[in-house]
Amino acid sequence: MRRQLEGSRAIAETVARCRPGVIPAYPITPQTHIVEALGTMVRKGTLTSCRFLTVESEFAAMSAAIGASLTGSRVYTATSSQGLLYMTEAVFNAAGLGAPIVMTVANRAIGAPINIWNDQSDSMALRDSGWIQLHAPDNQAAADLHVLAFRLAEELSVPVMVCVDGFVLTHAFEPIDVPEQEIVDAVLPPYRPRQVLDPDAPVTIGAMVGPDAFTEVKYLADHALRSAPAVFERIAAEFADAVGAPQRRACCVQDYSTTGADTVVVALGSVTGTLRDVVDSVEGVGVLTVTMYRPFPAEQVRAALAGARRIVVLERALASGAGGIVTSDVRSALAGLDVPVHTVIAGLGGRPIGAASLRELLTRPGLGDVTFLDLREDVIDRELGREAVHETDRETAYETDREPVAERDGQPAIEFDREAAGEFDRELDSQPALEPAGEFDREPAGEPAGA
């Protein structure tokens, strides 16, 4: 049954139907609504046999998650941005110990400068932590992916991150069908841990492993991770059958209008929705949505891109000093094929990716290696001008989008209003928040930007 729900709410309800045993949580925008909702369900008793732990940090959250998971409970947590980095050590550890934790990452930029809005720098930073990473293109998928994530995690004893674009999805109200309890139960059997702390069968978990076996441990972990695409697609099919909605069948990668397309845009997350709209009106351009980013489904990507003459990878994160992150994955997937791969860096720190900008970009005759979408050239020119030392190097750094955006599009994209963002958040907030705007790490309004 589809209901008008906030993305976070839909995720929380789906997670609740997955019957987690322990939810350690620490607040960070834009993840808060998810865990607040779950906490309330535990309090109200609608989510039973579950402990909701208000821990003192994300590091503690992931640590408690590890402990609970290895004690045989199904464990869920959620975080974002700084929080994800703060728990980094434990994130790697969870994977190393094979704890099948499921975590939502409400994607958000990483400071400094501190910024609460969406991009994917956070999950990208941890792409090689040994977790499976699933990226939700929309809120229905976001909800569905959590069911699949638990099943996948537990089947492989590997933790899974479900990446959901912060605000864009987490705070967006849409008609969403939260998978029914019977469906979830059918797809997700009770957790049967691979190893567990148990006085009746004592084991030592987390031994120290030296050079004699460390490589093998890592090989085996990689091996397990690489089986994820096939398992995922099997489970996804099972789930779609159970829901009776073939269109909700998730795939590692999803192509759209790629048949015969000259250009294929590769992207992760919510931007793929905008892209589909755009390519509908631009001739010869298709879209490849990557849902499973780790492990990287290289074969499927290669197969999907085989016919293209030009590939554009739209990235919501930047590998400083290198360029696009997904681009390198795509390039190695296409090794041997003579097809240009262009990187477009877009939507950093919450800058909206407008359809008009995309349309212009895709119809532009020449595209450089790395392009920053909607870059405010005036600012860059002014600032670089002040730093004469760097003047000479400037041209060689990146290909940039030279046209002043304001002239192309009337959207308030560039004069992004921090106040407005706050409003935006408030507007989307379905439940009466106890705290104003639920925005705790927001800079006080009115302070000069960049202070």
Q: Which residues bind other proteins (CB under 8 A)?
A: 21-22, 24, 49-51, 53-57, 59-61, 63-73, 75, 89-90, 93, 96-98, 157, 194-199, 201-210, 212-214, 216-217, 220
What's the rounded Cα separation, in Å, for the pair 398 and 370? 6
CA 6 from centroid of its chain's CA atoms: 17
DSSP state of 291: S
Which C-beta is closer to other proteins: that of 48 or that of 320? 48
Our CB check for other proteins shows the closer of 76 and 293 to be 76
- Extract long-range pairs of 359-365: CB within 8 Å, 24+ residues apart: 359/278, 359/281, 359/282, 360/403, 360/408, 361/312, 361/401, 362/263, 362/265, 362/278, 362/279, 362/282, 362/285, 362/312, 363/282
Q: How far is the CB of 15 from other proteins (least distance, A)?
A: 15
CA torsion sign for 169, 173, 175, 181 is: positive
Task: Please state the closest distance from residue 132 (CB atom) to other proteins, in A.
Answer: 16
Position 430: which residue type?
A: S
- Shorter beta-carbon distance to other proteins: residue 212 or 387: 212
When the beta carbons of 157 and 257 are compared against other proteins, the nearer one is 157
Which residue from 358, 172, 168, 372 is spatially nearest to 280, judged by alpha carbons? 358
Return the H-helix or E-strand segment holding 160. Answer: strand 160-165
Put residue 433 in one of left, alpha, beta given phi > 0 → left and psi -120 to 50 → alpha: beta
Supply the minimum distance, in Å, between the C-beta of residue 359 and other proteins.
Answer: 48
Distance CA 276, CA 257 (A): 8
Distance in Å, CB of 190 to other proteins, minimum: 11
Cβ 58 to other proteins shortest distance, Å = 10
Distance in Å, CB of 306 to other proteins, minimum? 37
What is the full DSSP assignment across 404-416?
A: -HHHH--STTSS-
Find the shortest distance in angstroms from Cβ 221 to other proteins: 8
Residue nearer to other proteins on the CB measure, 157 or 400: 157
Closer of 194 and 309 to other proteins (Cβ)? 194
What is the residue-wise DSSP string for 20-61? -SEEEE---TTTHHHHHHHHHHHHHTSS-S-EEEE-SSHHHH
Strand partners, 162: 104, 134
In sequence order, which residues have a C-beta less than 8 Å from that of residue 414 and are 6 or more positions away? 351, 374, 376, 405, 406
Residue 184 CB, nearest distance to other proteins (Å)?
18
Q: Which is nearer to other proteins, 94 or 288 (CB)?
A: 94
CA dist., res. 343 & res. 324, Å (int) = 6
Cα–Cα distance for residue pair 71/359, rounded to 1 Å: 51
Minimum distance from residue 23 beta carbon to other proteins (Å): 9
SS3 3: strand
Q: Across the strands, what pairs with 175? A: 4
| Distance separating alpha carbons of residues 103 and 132, to the nearest angstrom | 10
Between 194 and 386, CB nearer to other proteins: 194
Nearest approach, Cβ of residue 205 and other proteins (Å) = 5
Give the residue with the Cβ less far from other proteins, 22 or 346.
22
CB of 69 to other proteins, least distance (A): 8
- Which is nearer to other proteins, 26 or 256 (by Cβ)? 26
First CA to last CA distance, the chain? 47
Residue closer to other proteins, measured from CB, 205 or 322: 205
